[in-house]
C-alpha cells in the first residue's frame, strides 16, 4: 500500500479544478487578445485553429467546460465548424430539409438559399470570425439558429427513414435533440455575454 504522500507524487490526469481554470484562462486570452488586436490575420488563424492544431488539441482545452461558458461555447463552435467542413453534404441536406420549417432561424443564420457547401463553410467561418472580431453574442445566436435548422432537418430526415432504417432514424432523432440542446447552450452563452457574465 502506498502512503498518501507517495500516492500524490504519481503523475495522473489533470485535476478537474485546474483543467477548468486552464479552459477559462485560455478561452479568455484567445478571445480578448484577438478582439484587442483587430488583426484579420490573427482572426483567420484562430478560425482555422482546428485545421492547424487538430480537434484533439481544442478538445483538450475546452471540451469539458460547462456548456454556457466561454470555453464551452468556443468548443461547440469549433465542433460545428469541423462538422460543416468534413461533411458538407449531410449538413447541406439537413439544412435544406429544415430551413422551411424554421424561417426566423434562417434569417438569423444568414445562409443564402439554396445553400451550397461553400455557403455553409462560409457561415461557419463567419460565425467564428464574429467571435474574434465582431459581436460575440450575435455570432453565438447565428450558430444557435443554424443548429436549430439542422435539428429540424435531422428530425424530418429521421421521419422519412423510420420504416426503412429504424435504428438510423433513432440515431438521427437523438442527433436532432443534441443539436437543439447545443442551440440552447449557445443562446444562453449569448445572453451571458450581453450580461457580462460569460466566463
Q: What is the pLDDT of residue 197?
A: 94
Cβ atoms 80, 131 nearer than 8 A: no
Q: Residue ranges per domain, the chain?
A: 17-195
pLDDT score recorded for residue 3: 47
Question: Residue 104: pLDDT band by 50, 70, 90 thresholds?
Answer: confident
Q: What is the pLDDT of the chain when averaged over all its residues?
A: 88
151-165 tens-digit pLDDT: 999 999 999 999 999
Is 60 a residue whose pLDDT tops 70?
A: yes
Burial of 132 (0-12, 13-18, 19+ CB in 10 A): buried
Q: Which pLDDT score, from 0 to 100, does residue 14 have?
A: 58
Q: Is the pLDDT of residue 5 over 80?
A: no
- pLDDT tens readout for residues 162-179: 999 999 999 999 999 999
Q: For position 16, what pLDDT does the model report?
A: 74
Q: Give the Cα separation of 30 and 63 in Å (integer).
A: 16
Note the pLDDT tens digit of each residue in 10-42: 444 556 778 888 889 999 988 988 888 888 898
| DSSP output for 39-107 | -HHHHHHHHTHHHHH-HHHHHHHHTTS-TTSHHHHHHHHHHHHHHHHH-HHHHHHHHHHHHTT-HHHHH
Q: What is the pTM of this model?
A: 0.86
The per-residue pLDDT for range 71-102, each reduced to its tens digit, is 999 999 999 999 999 999 999 999 999 999 98
Amino acid at each position: 500500500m502506498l502512503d498518501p504522500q507517495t500516492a500524490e507524487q504519481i503523475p495522473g490526469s489533470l485535476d478537474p479544478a485546474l483543467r477548468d481554470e486552464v479552459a477559462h484562462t485560455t478561452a479568455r486570452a484567445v478571445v480578448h487578445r484577438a478582439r484587442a488586436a483587430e488583426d484579420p490575420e490573427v482572426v483567420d488563424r484562430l478560425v482555422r485553429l482546428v485545421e492547424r492544431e487538430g480537434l484533439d488539441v481544442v478538445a483538450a482545452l475546452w471540451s469539458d467546460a460547462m456548456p454556457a461558458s466561454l470555453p464551452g461555447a468556443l468548443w461547440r463552435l469549433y465542433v460545428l465548424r469541423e462538422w460543416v467542413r468534413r461533411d458538407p453534404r449531410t449538413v447541406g441536406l439537413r439544412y435544406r430539409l429544415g430551413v422551411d420549417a424554421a424561417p426566423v432561424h434562417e434569417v438569423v443564420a444568414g445562409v443564402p438559399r439554396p445553400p451550397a457547401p461553400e455557403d455553409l463553410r462560409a457561415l461557419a467561418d463567419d460565425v467564428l470570425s464574429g467571435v474574434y472580431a465582431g459581436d460575440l453574442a450575435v455570432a453565438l445566436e447565428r450558430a444557435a439558429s443554424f443548429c436549430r435548422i439542422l435539428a429540424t432537418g435531422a428530425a424530418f430526415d429521421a421521419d422519412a427513414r423510420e420504416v426503412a432504417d429504424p435504428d438510423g432514424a433513432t440515431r438521427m432523432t437523438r442527433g436532432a435533440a443534441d443539436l437543439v440542446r447545443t442551440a440552447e447552450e449557445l443562446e444562453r452563452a449569448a445572453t451571458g455575454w450581453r450580461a457580462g457574465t460569460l466566463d
